[in-house]
């Protein structure tokens, strides 16, 4: 089976600003493909090009086998899209929103009845189908938006930061649904800046400043982290962080819960450096051990190598 | 074009409209309020002008002249005064608009077949009313003198200019205002209602969601348009009924033609409204542009309030770009003259052209966003 999404040298500029810079990747059918990156990295711009909302400046992209430049209409029949902002009609009821999408995607007759039932069931909105969407809690709105996006059973589902502002419990159940879709063969293309969400993806692409800086399975990305990370506990963590940041061979030191995580340059006598620095600063070292990198560590490290994030 | 998609868009728009009190008020209350306001309160007719009489002649003839003024219906004598000084006071305070002064030798002059001059003092503060009152007074005096001559031994029959007014026989301005107002109301509905509809989708982010669905831009534009066309028809019907049955305006032409022309006008005006809405993308700006760009021209440059023939040439040229200009000709033609398509086809053609331009612009403006 051919790839669900194929992207070759995709570029989009806005005047002087290069939002997406020569990006290439492909996504297999049934894969959950995560797009991770800080705000302004170019995630949303890429998704907009892949959903036919924005024309690429140069490069090639095909979705479900259709060229985004020339076959946008055919493409839109086969994808579902849920944008960053909640964007159903707040002044329509739950049912009216579902009917609108049924009409727009030509899901009609018996198939519509069946799909409507399915969406209400999935979103847990059976009792609320006559409620104005504006009155629903955010978690329900999000699930309704997801339901409307998959009403027509798309081959590929694009989710642009779908869980921003949703509480962790709702986010967890949202991801359970995404896994169900993938299990039934739907390709899911999701962008996020939540690290724990990135862990749910089959494969991750890390984006920064418009370019791809890494792409692999989450576990492989963590292993690929070059610099060792040590975790320590001390009597005065903030002071220890300050001292460690100035120490030679230390790339970064940061609070991590009650512990302090220290990233060091490769091949350094890490344990000695940390113990010496703490002793000089007059701090006690209660515990010290090397830890595996979290996705956040990997991400921060990669972004640092790439020249830092664009803030804004 | 796909039926279910168009229907889904229209249905959604109609539901949203029905839940928006502001739009509903704009759609139904405003037109009715305007119609009754213009129909009743604003009248360009002058009736029952208050006048005072300074009758220094005090003869049968002078009383007959005063009687002629009163019985005309245009004047009401509220004061009989005996000194010139009083006329200054009454006019100055606006108690009367006009003072008729009949000199002491009025009867003698008439008896001696000399020109019997009477004096009219007019309050020129309201130039419009003053001119009309002057004309009425002149007409009454002329008729009075012909009657006198007819009764006496008239050596010559004075020439009486006979005027006949066509279409609006009683020259009631209401008959001109109501059909014109229908056109103005349509322009308001079109501009104000649609100005919000697409800008709202931009502001709420729903346009992006729509753009990601397979809906075509023409389906979005037409789908949004249909509920407003329905409102436009209801408004025209209500305005026509109110005009005919409450305000007594004649409807002499074909109501089918009226609705057909209304449809053409609405398509153009609504398309233009949607274009504005899509082009500026915020509700506030869209409303302002709609008012300045369509509503004001419809009110001021369409011939509704000011006669186009009296405008400076530059403005006259601009009126050709105001769709309401053609629609007003159509509504007045159908209501008052009862004329049909054989006379109104030029206006019809102009409005078809506007409809085409409006819809094309509205559809084109989405090109960048919806493929």
Report which of B154, B159, B160, B153 is spatially closest to residue B139, judged by C-alpha positions. B160
Give the residue from chain B lying closest to A52, CA to CA.
Answer: B212
Q: Reply yes or no on whether the pLDDT at B67 is more than 50.
A: yes
Residue A309's pLDDT band, with cuts at 50, 70 and 90, is low
CA distance linking residue A183 with residue A200, whole number of Å: 13
A10: which strand partners?
A: A23
CA distance linking residue A140 with residue A144, whole number of Å: 6
User: Given CB atoms, is A219 within the 8 Å cutoff of chain B?
Assistant: no
Residue A87 and residue B204: Cβ atoms within 8 Å? yes
Q: Reply yes or no on whether the pLDDT at B221 is more than 90.
A: no
Residue A87 and residue B209: Cβ atoms within 8 Å? yes
Each residue of B11-32: pLDDT tens digit?
999 999 999 888 888 888 888 8
Residue B153's pLDDT band, with cuts at 50, 70 and 90, is very low
pLDDT at B160: 39
A36: which strand partners?
A: A192, A206
Residue A311's pLDDT band, with cuts at 50, 70 and 90, is very low
pLDDT at B367: 63
User: Given CB atoms, is A292 within the 8 Å cutoff of chain B?
Assistant: no
Tokens of B246: 């409450």
Q: Reply yes or no on whether the pLDDT at B131 is more than 80.
A: no
CA distance B302 to chain A (A): 37
pLDDT at B370: 46
Give the residue from chain B lying closest to A93, CA to CA.
Answer: B15
pLDDT over 90 for what percent of chain B? 6
Residue B193's pLDDT band, with cuts at 50, 70 and 90, is confident
Mean pLDDT of chain B: 81
Q: Reply yes or no on whether the pLDDT at A93 is more than 90.
A: yes
pLDDT over 70 for what percent of chain A? 97
pLDDT at B303: 82
**Sheet containing strand B119-122, strands side by side:** B75-81, B49-55, B98-102, B119-122
Q: Reply yes or no on whether the pLDDT at B162 is more than 50.
A: no
User: Given CB atoms, is A105 within the 8 Å cutoff of chain B?
Assistant: yes
pLDDT at B337: 81
Residue B208 and residue A72: Cβ atoms within 8 Å? no
Give the residue from chain A lying closest to B16, CA to CA.
Answer: A91
CA distance B347 to chain A (A): 37
DSSP A78: H
Map out the domains of chain B as residue ranges: 11-42+172-364, 49-151
pLDDT at A237: 84
Chain B contact set for A100 (CB, 8 A): 8-9, 11-12
Number of C-alpha atoms within 13 angstroms, CB side, residue A52? 30
CA distance linking residue B88 with residue B67, whole number of Å: 23
Q: Which residue has the higher pLDDT, A224 or A161?
A: A161
Alpha carbon dihedral A176, A181, A183, A188, in 10-degree steps, equals: -100
Residue A89's pLDDT band, with cuts at 50, 70 and 90, is very high
Residue B159's pLDDT band, with cuts at 50, 70 and 90, is very low
Among A52, A88, A99, the residue with its CB nearest the CB of B371 is A52
End-to-end CA separation in angstroms for chain A: 40
- Give, for B151, the enclosing helix (H) or strand (E): helix B127-151
Q: What is the DSSP string of A89-142?
A: -TTSBHHHHHHHHHHHTT--HHHHHHHHHHHHHHHT-GGGTTSBGGGS-HHHHH
User: Given CB atoms, is A57 within the 8 Å cutoff of chain B?
Assistant: no
pLDDT at B150: 64
What is the rounded average pLDDT of the residues B242-254?
Answer: 85
Chain B contact set for A103 (CB, 8 A): 4-5, 7-9, 11
pLDDT at B281: 74
pLDDT at B127: 64
User: Given CB atoms, is A91 within the 8 Å cutoff of chain B?
Assistant: yes
pLDDT at B157: 37
Domain A226-292: CATH class, spelled out: alpha beta
Q: Reply yes or no on whether the pLDDT at B156 is more than 60.
A: no
pLDDT at A308: 62
- Which residues fall within 8 angstroms of residue A271, CB to CB, at 6 or more apart? A230, A288
User: Given CB atoms, is B214 within the 8 Å cutoff of chain A?
Assistant: yes
Which one of B17, B20, B201, B214 makes the best mutation probe of the A interface by having the most chain A beta carbons within 10 Å? B214
pLDDT over 70 for what percent of chain B? 89
Note the helical H segments in chain A. 43-50, 72-78, 94-104, 109-123, 138-150, 168-183, 195-198, 218-223, 237-246, 270-280, 295-305
Residue A228's pLDDT band, with cuts at 50, 70 and 90, is confident
What is the rounded average pLDDT of the residues A290-310?
Answer: 76
Q: Is B121 helix (H, G, I), strand (E, B) or coil?
A: strand
Give the residue from chain B lying closest to A50, CA to CA.
Answer: B212
Chain A contact set for B11 (CB, 8 A): 99-100, 103
User: Given CB atoms, is B89 within the 8 Å cutoff of chain A?
Assistant: no
Which one of A104, A151, A189 makes the best mutation probe of the B interface by having the most chain B beta carbons within 10 Å? A104
Alpha carbon dihedral A48, B361, B311, B317, in 10-degree steps, equals: 120
Each residue of B336-363: pLDDT tens digit?
888 888 888 888 898 889 888 888 888 8
Q: Reply yes or no on whether the pLDDT at B113 is more than 90.
A: no
Map out the domains of chain A as residue ranges: 5-222, 226-292
CA distance B192 to chain A (A): 20
CA distance linking residue B106 with residue B65, whole number of Å: 11
CA distance linking residue A129 with residue A120, whole number of Å: 7
CA distance linking residue B152 with residue B110, whole number of Å: 10
- Which residues fall within 8 angstroms of residue B204, CB to CB, at 6 or more apart? A87, A90
- CATH superfamily entry for domain A5-222: P-loop containing nucleotide triphosphate hydrolases (3.40.50.300)
Among B206, B211, B369, the residue with its CB nearest the CB of A89 is B206
Range with the largest mean pLDDT of A192-196, A276-280, B290-294: A276-280
Residue B8 and residue A88: Cβ atoms within 8 Å? no
Of A280-284, A308-312, B69-73, B96-100, the poorest mean pLDDT is in A308-312
Each residue of B291-312: pLDDT tens digit?
788 778 888 888 887 778 778 8
Give the residue from chain A lying closest to B4, CA to CA.
Answer: A103
Count of all residues that appear for chain A in the document: 312
Would residue B275 be called left, alpha or beta, if left means φ above 0 and alpha means ψ between -120 and 50 degrees? Answer: alpha
Each residue of A98-117: pLDDT tens digit?
999 999 999 999 999 999 99
What is the rounded average pLDDT of the residues A191-220?
Answer: 87
CA distance linking residue A287 with residue A177, whole number of Å: 41
User: Given CB atoms, is B19 within the 8 Å cutoff of chain A?
Assistant: yes
**Sheet containing strand A229-234, strands side by side:** A250-256, A259-264, A229-234, A285-291
Residue A159's pLDDT band, with cuts at 50, 70 and 90, is very high
CB pairs under 8 A between A and B: 76
Among B12, B16, B212, the residue with its CB nearest the CB of A81 is B212
CB atoms within 10 A of CB B271: 25
Residue A96's pLDDT band, with cuts at 50, 70 and 90, is very high
pLDDT at A301: 81
In CATH, which of 2.60.120.10, 1.10.10.1400, 3.40.1710.10, 1.25.40.10 is domain B49-151? 3.40.1710.10
Chain A contact set for B208 (CB, 8 A): 53, 83, 87
Q: Which residue has the higher pLDDT, B45 or B321?
A: B321
CA distance linking residue B187 with residue B196, whole number of Å: 15
Residue A104 and residue B215: Cβ atoms within 8 Å? yes
Residue A106 and residue B12: Cβ atoms within 8 Å? no
User: Given CB atoms, is B369 within the 8 Å cutoff of chain A?
Assistant: yes
CA distance linking residue A300 with residue A308, whole number of Å: 9
């Amino acid at each position: 089976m051919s790839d669900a999404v194929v992207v070759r040298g995709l570029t989009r500029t806005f005047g002087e600003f290069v939002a997406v810079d020569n990006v290439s990747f492909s996504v297999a059918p049934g894969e959950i493909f995560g797009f991770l990156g800080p705000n302004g990295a170019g995630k949303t711009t890429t998704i907009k090009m892949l959903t036919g909302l924005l024309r690429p400046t140069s490069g090639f992209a095909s979705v479900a086998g259709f060229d985004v430049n020339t076959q946008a209409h055919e493409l839109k029949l086969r994808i579902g899209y849920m944008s960053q902002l909640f964007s159903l009609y707040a002044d329509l009821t739950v049912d009216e929103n579902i009917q609108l999408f049924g009409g727009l995607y030509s899901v009609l007759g018996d198939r519509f009845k069946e799909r409507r039932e399915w969406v209400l069931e999935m979103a847990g909105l059976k009792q609320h189908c006559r409620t104005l969407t504006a009155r629903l809690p955010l978690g329900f709105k999000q699930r309704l938006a997801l339901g409307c996006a998959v009403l027509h059973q798309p081959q590929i589902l694009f989710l642009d930061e779908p869980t921003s502002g949703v509480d962790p419990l709702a986010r967890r159940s949202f991801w359970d649904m995404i896994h169900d879709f993938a299990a039934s063969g739907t390709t899911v293309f999701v962008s996020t800046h939540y690290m724990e969400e990135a862990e749910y993806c089959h494969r991750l692409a890390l984006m920064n400043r418009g370019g791809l800086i890494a792409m692999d399975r989450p576990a492989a990305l963590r292993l690929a982290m070059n610099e060792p990370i040590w975790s320590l506990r001390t009597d005065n963590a903030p002071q220890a962080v300050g001292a460690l940041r100035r120490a030679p061979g230390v790339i970064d030191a940061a609070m991590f819960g009650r512990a302090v995580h220290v990233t060091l340059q490769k091949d350094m006598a890490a344990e000695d450096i940390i113990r010496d620095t703490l002793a000089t600063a007059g701090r006690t070292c209660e515990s010290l051990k090397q830890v595996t990198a979290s996705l956040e560590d990997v991400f921060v490290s990669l972004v640092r190598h790439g020249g830092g994030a664009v803030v804004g | 074009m796909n039926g279910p998609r168009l229907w889904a868009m229209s249905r959604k728009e109609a539901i949203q409209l029905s839940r928006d009190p502001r739009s509903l008020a704009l759609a139904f209350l405003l037109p009715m309020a305007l119609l009754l306001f213009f129909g009743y309160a604003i009248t360009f007719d002058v009736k029952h002008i208050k006048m005072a009489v300074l009758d220094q002649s005090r003869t049968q003839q002078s009383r007959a002249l005063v009687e002629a003024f009163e019985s005309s219906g245009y004047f009401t004598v509220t004061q009989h005064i005996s000194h010139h000084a009083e006329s200054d006071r009454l006019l100055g305070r606006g108690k009367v608009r006009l003072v008729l002064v009949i000199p002491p030798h009025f009867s003698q002059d008439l008896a001696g077949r000399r020109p019997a001059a009477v004096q009219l003092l007019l309050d020129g503060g309201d130039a419009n009313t003053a001119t009309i009152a002057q004309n009425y007074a002149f007409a009454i005096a002329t008729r009075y003198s012909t009657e006198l001559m007819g009764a006496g031994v008239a050596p010559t029959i004075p020439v009486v200019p006979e005027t006949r007014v066509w279409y609006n026989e009683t020259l009631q301005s209401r008959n001109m205002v109501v059909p014109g107002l229908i056109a103005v109301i349509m322009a308001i509905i079109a501009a104000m209602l649609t100005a919000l509809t697409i800008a709202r989708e931009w502001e709420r982010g729903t346009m992006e969601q729509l753009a990601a669905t397979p809906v075509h831009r023409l389906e979005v534009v037409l789908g949004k348009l249909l509920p407003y066309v329905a409102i436009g028809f209801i408004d025209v019907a209500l305005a026509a009924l109110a005009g005919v049955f409450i305000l007594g305006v004649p409807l002499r032409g074909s109501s089918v033609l009226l609705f057909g022309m209304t449809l053409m006008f609405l398509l153009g005006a609504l398309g233009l409204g949607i274009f504005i809405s899509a082009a500026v993308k915020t509700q506030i700006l869209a409303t302002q542009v709609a008012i300045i760009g369509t509503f004001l021209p419809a009110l001021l440059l369409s011939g509704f309030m000011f006669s186009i023939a009296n405008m400076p040439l530059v403005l006259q040229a601009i009126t050709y770009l105001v769709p309401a200009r053609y629609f007003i000709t159509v509504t007045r033609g159908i209501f008052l003259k009862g004329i049909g398509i054989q006379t109104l086809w030029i206006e019809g053609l102009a409005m078809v052209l506007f409809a085409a331009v409006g819809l094309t612009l509205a559809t084109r403006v989405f090109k960048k966003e919806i493929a």
